[in-house]
Structure 1
Amino acid sequence: MQLYTLDEVAQLLKVSRRTLNRLVQKGALAVVYIGRLPRIGDEELARFLACAVPLGTVTLERVLSFFLSVKADKRSAEDDQLRARTLLEGLGHQLDMVTFRSRQLRAFMSTRLTAVSASSVNRELSLLSAAINLYNAEMDMQLPNPTKGKMLREPEGRVRWLKPEEAERLIVSARLSLTPYLADFIVLALYTGARRGELLGLTWDRVDFERAFLVLEAVHTKGQKRRCIPLHPRALATLVQLHKLRLGEFVFCDKHGQKVGNLRKSFLKACERANIRNFRVHDLRHTCAAWLVMEGVALVVIRDLLGHQSVKTTEIYAHLDLASVRLGLSALDWTGQFKQDVP
């Protein structure tokens, strides 16, 4: 068996030593050691050259795998893996990214739109774009990015909220549920605007009864930013009652003191008993925001309470600010003219 140095192998393969070192580290090329010196045998080199993907080809699988490994600590890592799998199945694992063009992407998008919504396709395109950009930046490449300008128009965000009397009806219905904490969860969601995961993951050490607020650390929030939520008297009273019955470190836990995983089924049954249609758990958060807007609370204040990254997200509730609209209309007299001439 003939042995080659790494420099000799790099020259034979016409790649840099840096690229060759990566191949060795990933196990694509096996080395043997003569003393402390790494060598690659001719049989191993022949096996590598006989692989299906030509050396130097940057495949979609390589680009996505690189992105997922670098971003493995993202909160959305599991969702990214599912979207990456969809991209690989639709575009092909061995898609050559150097020759990847818009027509291939549009064919993928057309197929996907027969099964999922435009927003789902946009999330998949966002992942693909981010993966290409990261690979280009880290590997000093110039791969084309056909996703530019391909984002689809999405329908206006859904805003479903309850009137106060409907909310009370839902709470009463939840008290009849076999899930003992359901009604208390609904009250806290309505009066804090917190997300489902933020409430189900809430621990007692982050509830300040004396100063009436609860703390959501960065690791507990979607935006990864710490925020404090002042407690409405009704929310505070609910927490006081729950604290008397606490079984573990979590505010919402089962009889063994373990964190509650899901309450979707019991919530939907409570909605059905209360004759409330087309209402989801997340809509409790919408309801809190809607009530605040209709009371004239500024959007920036609501943004901070809900933990939105931008006030643009909060603006989906702006149409509910009827008080400001009425104030504006009051500047008109019955003939439709302004009461005072504008200079």
Structure 2
Amino acid sequence: MRERAKSHGTMRRELGVLRAALNFAHSEGRLIYVPPVLLPPKTPGKDRWLTRREAAMLLNAARTASGPVRLYLPLFILMGLYTGARKSAILSLRWPQIDLENGLIDFLPPGERQSNKRRAKIPIPNKLLGHLKRARYRGSDLDYVIHRDGKKIDDVKHSFASACIKAEVFEVTPHTLRHTCGTWLAQQGVSLFEIGGWLGQSNERTVELYAHHHPDFLTNAKQALEGRQF
């Protein structure tokens, strides 16, 4: 199923590029008309998120892993759960982007521009701050926050999957941590506007993913209908 989803996404991207090229050719007068290019519908997003118990089990599995994995994977998981940042943003994060004194993380590297996948600047939750301060002593001023012997880790896919198997949590990927963060925030009644700001994503996408987890989801509509007399 994962391979089908991947090929489906690739097809959408390729057809999108084709449609853009045809539109450009038409605007340049190279085509008399633009032939229609129909994109396949978007695949529905997975609503898999971790319960508090599952998150604790996964974190414990990472902490008790053998070898150097236990030095970086627990911190990666904690950062995913507390910040909701994407995997690439966490793995590319360097210590100069973290202000431990004022408790701030800027996931956008200095000198880089925001892309469609926005990188947020957020305050550090107190429970994460202590872990980051301890991790800071193991690195240098310019090192990557998540590292192996000071070197950047390109991916945590295999070590993360091993921890999931050990913790017996299934259908979970590193991206699940981001979705878990957003879901927990919604379940605690945080406004969708703030959730979008925390995760660095559009309001439309935030509503699509997390509105149904919010305790006030459609409450006004329900109450309005309950007050109607038929």
TM-score range normalised by the length of the shorter chain? 0.7 to 0.9
> Which amino acid is 2:124 matched to?
L
Deviation string 1:291-320 (CA, Å, 9 cap, x unpaired) is 001011111211121111x21211222111
Q: State which of 301, 307, 311 in structure 1 corresponds to 2:203.
A: 311
2:174 match: secondary structure: coil
Task: Tell me the amino acid that sits aligned with residue 128 of structure 1.
Answer: L
Correspondence 1:286 to 2:179:
yes
SS of 2:14's equivalent in the other structure is helix
What is the CA-CA distance between 1:141 and the residue it aligns to? 2.4
- Please name the residue that 2:53 is paired with: 165
Are 1:216 and 1:226, in contact at CA under 8 Å, matched by a contact in 2?
yes
Give the aligned partner of residue 8 of structure 2.
118
How far apart are the structure 2 equivalents of 1:225 and 1:267? 24
Shift of 1:193: 0.5
- Which of these residues, 43, 47, 65, is aligned with residue 155 of structure 1? 43
| Residues 330 and 164 of structure 1: CA distance in aligned 2, closer, same or farther (over 3 Å) | same
The amino acid of 1:324's aligned partner reads D
Q: Is the 8 A contact 1:198 1:216 kept in 2?
A: yes
Q: How big is the shift at 1:217? A: 2.2
Q: TM-score, normalised by structure 1?
A: 0.58
User: Any conservation in 1 of the 2:26–2:34 contact (CA below 8 Å)?
Assistant: no
RMSD over aligned Cα atoms? 2.6
Q: Contact 1:132 / 1:143 at 8 angstroms: preserved in 2?
A: no
Change (3 A) 1:116 1:162: closer
Q: Distance in 1 between matches of 2:106 and 2:145?
A: 13
Paired with 1:296 and 1:283, the residues of 2 have a C-alpha distance of: 20
Instruction: Measure the CA separation in 1 of the matches of 2:117 and 2:7.
Output: 27
Within 5 Å, which residues of 2 pair with 1:226-305?
227-247=120-140, 249-255=143-149, 257-305=150-198
Q: How many pairs are equivalent?
A: 219
Identity %: 31
For residues 220 and 197 of structure 1, do their structure 2 counterparts lie closer, same or farther at Cα, with a shift above 3 Å needed? Answer: farther
User: Is the partner of 1:161 in helix, strand or coil?
Assistant: coil
* CA separation of 1:341 and 1:127: change in aligned 2, threshold 3 A: closer
CA–CA distance in structure 1, aligned partners of residues 177 and 220 of structure 2: 30
* Structure 2 residue ranges without an equivalent (≥5): none
Match of 1:213 in 2: 104
The answer to whether the 8 A contact 1:198-1:220 is kept is no
Other structure's SS at 2:106 match: strand
Supply the distance in 1 between the matched residues of 2:29 and 2:218 (Cα, whole angstroms): 57
